[in-house]
Amino acid sequence: MTLDPVHLITLLGMAAVTLLFRVGGYVLVRYVTPRGRVKVAMEAMPAAVLTALVVPMALTTGIAETLAALVTVLAVLRLPLIVAVCLGTGTVVLFRTII
């Protein structure tokens, strides 16, 4: 396996930007208290990021992943999050074995 310099620079750049945003967020919250719409937007951000990461994968990789995502969404409506994640993981393993 070889390491392409372009990929290495891209990876290091993404890591630096991630670190900058994490540290910047802590520094900003230390001096500014979010109120109103900003507070609501910040509270909704984790769900939005998770959705942006999961939905494309669930809809483009195959039927097993799509069905597992559906099972997980339905499970999380009634069960604790960790149980829903375990059900989703088990579902994708089962369907990949069957299909």
The number of domains in the chain is 2
| pTM, two decimal places | 0.57
| HEC string for 21-64 | HHHHHHHHHHHCCCCHHHHHHHHHHHHHHHHHHHHHHHHHCCHH
- Go through the chain and tell me how many residues it has: 99
- Residue 78's SS3 state is coil
Query: Are 28 and 48 within one domain?
Result: no
The residue segments making up the domain with residue 80 are: 36-99
The helix-helix angle for 36-60 and 63-76 (nearest 10°) equals: 140
Report the percentage of the chain scoring pLDDT > 70. Answer: 99
- Give the residue from 39, 93, 34 showing the smallest Cα distance to 64: 93
Secondary-structure percent of the chain, ordered helix, strand, coil, rounded to 5: 85, 0, 15
Query: Are 75 and 92 within one domain?
Result: yes
Query: Are 45 and 23 within one domain?
Result: no
Query: Are 63 and 26 within one domain?
Result: no
Q: What is the pLDDT of residues 3-47, one digit of tens each?
A: 889 999 999 999 999 999 989 988 888 888 888 998 888 888 888
Read off the pLDDT of each residue in 50-62 and give the average, rounded to a whole number: 88
Query: Are 27 and 64 within one domain?
Result: no
Query: Are 69 and 27 within one domain?
Result: no
Query: Are 41 and 53 within one domain?
Result: yes
